[in-house]
A and B are shown apart, each in its own frame.
Chain A
Amino acid sequence: MAKKRSPYLLVKVIFAVVCLFLFLKYAAPKVFQVLMAKEHLMPTPSTLMMWYMIMGVLAGLVYATTSNQKFADFLGFLLPEKGAMVKSFIRKMLFFAFPVIIGWFVYTWSIPGAASPVELRIQHPTLPQEFEKMENPFRNTDAETQRKCIEEGKILFQTNCRPCHGSKADGNGPFANSFRLRPINFQDPGTIATVVDNYLFWRIKEGGPGLPSEATPWDSAMPAWKDDLKDDEVWKIIMGEYDTAGVMPRQREKTE
């Protein structure tokens, strides 16, 4: 087997690592925005980035040590060689860059930063007991009554909920951009489609202030509608909301 020498192996490995960094930092947010059909970029979380970079560097080293010859080439690049102008230039650049990069890392770690804090929250806290037993009085009525309830609910939804949750229940109302905790997109299959009617009843009645502290009630702009909307109106809104969003509530499991 003819041995192929690759005198630039070191440069190639470094280049691959840099490419990985550029991809994670600049291309991945855009790629995931398109893949997940979001309206905003999806930046790679910094811890994930760190792990990927560590793995990238290790992969490069593993590759460079797969054979003795590769390893010799890998390190051999750093040895002086007569007459190789380009090689010598790159080598000098590397010698210069290494301490500078280390210095830069130390600088960015030690300057006082003002990064925005991590605000973790649970989006779907457990439904409180008192709402568990409730039942939507209009769900099991005849088709004509249901149709009327949905229509009445849609009118109420469009009047009261639309400014934030949007005409299409897609979380894109005119006020949506102005709240840091964006209004929920009900068309998203991970939201109201995964819960029962009662859950929405609780959320509409008690709003942000009624959330448990793990769901950061202080940041939620969901009003507590208990003073402004009657129970019947809330049940109708729920029906209108599911209809507008084009999803169905989760069905209760039959336990008998």
Chain B
Amino acid sequence: MIKEFKCCLFGFGLIGVSVGFFGLSSEVSAQASHLFRTYKHEVPQKLPETQEAVAAGKKVYEKRCWYCHGIEGRGDGPASKTMFPKPRNFTRNEYKVRSTTFGSVPTDEDLFRIVTSGIEGTAMPFWYTISETERWQVLYYVKTFNEQFKTETSPKVVSVVSVVSTPDSVQRGAELFKEFKCFECHGDDARGNGPLTVALQTEWGMPYRARDLTKAWNFKGGNAGEDIYRTISTGFNETPMGSYLEKMSDEDRWHVAHYVKSLAKDMMSDVVVKVKLVEGEELPTEPSDEAWNKATPMELPLAGQILVSPRQWTQSIDAIRVRALYNSNDIAFLLEWDDSTNKQEDVFRDAVSVQFPTKIPESLKKPYFAMGDSSGAVNLWSWKAYWKEGFGAIVEAPETEPGTVSELNAKGVKNITVQPPESQNVTGKGVYQNGRWKVVFKRSLQTEDAKNDLQFEIGKLIPIAFAIWDGSNSDVAGLKSVSSWYYVILEKPVPKTVFIYVLFAIIMGASIEVWFIARLRRFPPKLEEEQE
């Protein structure tokens, strides 16, 4: 009995361990699924800063770094023209991610961390792929571009200890976010759309953008609580993001850091947009309708359009969120994306388009994902923000103006046709609120123009792709953000027959089991010794 008990305990222990492992592994997969690479804090033993190290660093720099940062460290390398944010100009003290006070130069360790981890949301890659020695050497060389490193040998360091977040702290942080007017740049909903950020845009030598704090994948210098606390404390040199070291108590800075951390969300990416059936109800036409909550949202990343000239190397919109519903007649999409302004200028208008093949593909073959090709036509639903007649003026799209919706076909970028008025079946509208565009598209599942319009079918995987234009980023025509082909599926409701199958299977299973046990009891397995 004791042995049995032991054995059983052992079994439960193992089950416990495996359940624990299950929990652990699912957490690991959640971390791996987002795009963010962690900002590595550990720094190994420093290499002595000698003349030889600097000379060796020059070699590394001129092999790997100068293409972006420039041969003289001015951030004007030949590759810098295809990037935004621009590479760091090492001759000025515009170092952003530092543990030192505002205006000071970073410590060697800070530079080491940046070289090792890279900077998210920028072109700066991680360099842990080169040896630690090389990393120390190259940063010693980079320091020679700026005299301030010589005069300021021991900058004051702000120490960061870890403080655990609590709901109260997040709550207090939200209040402080208002009190200290963080929203003036970062916006009420922290989407980087505050009035100041928009107003100050052209005053600086280079445009800057306040961080969209809801996008966890774009935090410079890490998105952990300690990283956010460090940024609030030390600020970003040469940007309006100042230091709050003197202005806020240590405790308050932690509150704000916890609040900001609570806002930062990972991209919930997937491959298939699942369209929910709403039976016997009208589909929502307003972007802010509660009914949209019934649909599962899916987010997907966007890249600049770099396939054909002119190319958009410096795209400003990097994600779109999609939700969709259908009923027996219609299908409706809600598309949302963060845009720091709704400014429109001349031809540069905020816009979005959804792309489908004109027919659901029978095989693997699809039209080319960027506007189709001669062998595969696409059907496009386009929405453009309001534009008042006039030239050169900058206007904000008013909230009451729904924008213009049109339906197009394309067989390649040079072969785009707007469908004639009698074939325009898509309706929709857009609303701009707190740094986010919300656009609704609605169409009947089937149309009369079956040659040029996609005909939706329930339960089939239909390719879908997206493009977004940001007027304030001078996006127009080919200058846009694009996605790859994804899929959309109109979810089949679970048929009632499934439950009959399941019930039948359970009864069958139970019957076989009972029969087997009954047989086993009648003819129990016996060993020869026992029979004697």
- List A residues at the B interface (Cβ < 8 Å): 3, 7-8, 11, 15, 18-19, 22, 26-27, 29-30, 33, 39-41, 68-69, 71-72, 75-76, 78-80, 84, 86-87, 90, 95, 98-103, 105-107, 110-112, 114-117, 119-120, 154-155, 158-160, 162-164, 166-168, 170, 172-175, 177-181, 207-209, 213, 216-219, 221, 223, 227-228
- B67–A168 touching, CB < 8 Å: no
Residues of chain A contacted by B510 (CB below 8 angstroms)? 98-99
Min CB–CB distance B347 → chain A (angstroms)? 23
Residues of chain A contacted by B507 (CB below 8 angstroms)? 99
Min CB–CB distance B240 → chain A (angstroms)? 24
From the candidates B82, B368, B520, name the one contacting A75 in the complex (CB within 8 A). B520
- B129–A111 touching, CB < 8 Å: no
Residues of chain B contacted by A105 (CB below 8 angstroms)? 505
Min CB–CB distance B470 → chain A (angstroms)? 15
B244-265 residues at the A interface, CB under 8 angstroms: none
Nearest first, the 8 closest Cβ-Cβ pairs linking A and B are: A178-B303, A112-B492, A99-B509, A158-B79, A102-B509, A158-B67, A175-B303, A116-B271
- A160–B123 touching, CB < 8 Å: no
Report Cα–Cα, A95/B518, bound state, in Å. Answer: 13
B465-514 residues at the A interface, CB under 8 angstroms: 483-487, 489, 491-492, 494-495, 498, 501-503, 505-510, 513
Cβ of B367 under 8 Å from chain A = yes
A-B CB contact pairs (8 Å), 30 listed: A8-B4, A19-B14, A41-B28, A68-B528, A72-B525, A72-B527, A75-B520, A107-B502, A158-B77, A158-B78, A159-B78, A160-B82, A162-B123, A163-B123, A166-B125, A167-B125, A168-B125, A174-B121, A174-B122, A174-B123, A175-B306, A177-B35, A177-B301, A178-B302, A216-B364, A218-B365, A218-B367, A219-B366, A219-B485, A223-B307
Report Cα–Cα, A253/B15, bound state, in Å. Answer: 58
Residues of chain B contacted by A159 (CB below 8 angstroms)? 67, 78-79, 81-82
Residues of chain A contacted by B32 (CB below 8 angstroms)? 33, 39-41
From the candidates B4, B306, B483, B503, name the one contacting A86 in the complex (CB within 8 A). B4
Min CB–CB distance A240 → chain B (angstroms)? 10
Cβ of B313 under 8 Å from chain A = yes
Min CB–CB distance A96 → chain B (angstroms)? 9
Report Cα–Cα, A170/B5, bound state, in Å. Answer: 55
- List B residues at the A interface (Cβ < 8 Å): 4-5, 7-8, 11, 14-15, 18, 21-22, 25-26, 28-29, 32-33, 35, 64, 67-68, 77-79, 81-83, 121-123, 125, 129, 271-272, 274, 301-304, 306-309, 311, 313, 318, 364-369, 373, 376, 459, 461, 483-487, 489, 491-492, 494-495, 498, 501-503, 505-510, 513, 517, 520-521, 524-529
- A223–B308 touching, CB < 8 Å: yes
Min CB–CB distance B346 → chain A (angstroms)? 27
Residues of chain B contacted by A223 (CB below 8 angstroms)? 306-308, 311
Closest residue of chain A to B270, judged by CB?
A: A116
Residues of chain A contacted by B513 (CB below 8 angstroms)? 95, 98-99
Q: Is the interface of A mostly helix, strand, loop or mixed?
A: helix
- A102–B506 touching, CB < 8 Å: yes
Report Cα–Cα, A215/B58, bound state, in Å. Answer: 43
Min CB–CB distance B7 → chain A (angstroms)? 6
Residues of chain B contacted by A76 (CB below 8 angstroms)? 524-525
Residues of chain B contacted by A41 (CB below 8 angstroms)? 28-29, 32
- B313–A102 touching, CB < 8 Å: no
Known pairs A30-B25, A218-B376 / 16 extra A-B pairs, C-beta < 8 Å: A103-B503, A107-B498, A112-B494, A120-B364, A159-B79, A175-B303, A175-B306, A177-B301, A178-B303, A178-B318, A178-B483, A213-B365, A216-B364, A219-B485, A221-B484, A223-B308
Min CB–CB distance A8 → chain B (angstroms)? 6
- A155–B79 touching, CB < 8 Å: yes
Take A112-B494, A155-B67, A181-B484 as given contacts and tell me if A167 and B123 are in contact as well, using a CB distance cutoff of 8 Å: yes
Take A11-B11, A102-B505, A160-B82 as given contacts and tell me if A69 and B527 are in contact as well, using a CB distance cutoff of 8 Å: yes
Closest residue of chain A to B126, judged by CB?
A: A172
From the candidates B67, B489, B525, name the one contacting A167 in the complex (CB within 8 A). B67
From the candidates A163, A180, A181, A216, name the one contacting B306 in the complex (CB within 8 A). A163
- A68–B509 touching, CB < 8 Å: no
Min CB–CB distance A100 → chain B (angstroms)? 7
Take A22-B21, A72-B525, A106-B505 as given contacts and tell me if A217 and B303 are in contact as well, using a CB distance cutoff of 8 Å: no
Residues of chain A contacted by B79 (CB below 8 angstroms)? 155, 158-159, 162
Take A39-B32, A71-B525, A155-B67 as given contacts and tell me if A8 and B485 are in contact as well, using a CB distance cutoff of 8 Å: no
Min CB–CB distance A57 → chain B (angstroms)? 16
Report Cα–Cα, A228/B82, bound state, in Å. Answer: 15
What's the count of A-B pairs with C-beta under 8 Å? 203
- A103–B7 touching, CB < 8 Å: no
Report Cα–Cα, A221/B14, bound state, in Å. Answer: 47
- A180–B484 touching, CB < 8 Å: yes
Closest residue of chain A to B130, judged by CB?
A: A168
- A87–B304 touching, CB < 8 Å: no
Take A22-B21, A227-B309 as given contacts and tell me if A103 and B484 are in contact as well, using a CB distance cutoff of 8 Å: no
Min CB–CB distance A136 → chain B (angstroms)? 22
Residues of chain A contacted by B18 (CB below 8 angstroms)? 18-19, 22
Report Cα–Cα, A155/B79, bound state, in Å. Answer: 7
Report Cα–Cα, A19/B16, bound state, in Å. Answer: 12
Residues of chain A contacted by B303 (CB below 8 angstroms)? 164, 175, 178-179, 221
Min CB–CB distance B523 → chain A (angstroms)? 10
Min CB–CB distance B390 → chain A (angstroms)? 35
Among A75, A158, A208, A216, chain B packs the most CB atoms within 10 A around the CB of: A158
- A15–B82 touching, CB < 8 Å: no
Closest residue of chain B to A176, judged by CB?
A: B303
Min CB–CB distance B433 → chain A (angstroms)? 26
Residues of chain A contacted by B489 (CB below 8 angstroms)? 114
- A163–B524 touching, CB < 8 Å: no
From the candidates B129, B366, B485, B502, name the one contacting A168 in the complex (CB within 8 A). B129
Report Cα–Cα, A147/B368, bound state, in Å. Answer: 38
Report Cα–Cα, A115/B489, bound state, in Å. Answer: 10
Among B8, B309, B369, chain A packs the most CB atoms within 10 A around the CB of: B369
Min CB–CB distance B458 → chain A (angstroms)? 9
Residues of chain A contacted by B520 (CB below 8 angstroms)? 75, 78-79
Residues of chain A contacted by B525 (CB below 8 angstroms)? 71-72, 75-76
From the candidates B25, B35, B491, B529, name the one contacting A114 in the complex (CB within 8 A). B491
Residues of chain B contacted by A90 (CB below 8 angstroms)? 8
Report Cα–Cα, A175/B305, bound state, in Å. Answer: 10
Min CB–CB distance B24 → chain A (angstroms)? 9
From the candidates B28, B491, B505, B526, name the one contacting A103 in the complex (CB within 8 A). B505
- A22–B369 touching, CB < 8 Å: no
Closest residue of chain B to A71, judged by CB?
A: B525
Residues of chain A contacted by B8 (CB below 8 angstroms)? 8, 86, 90
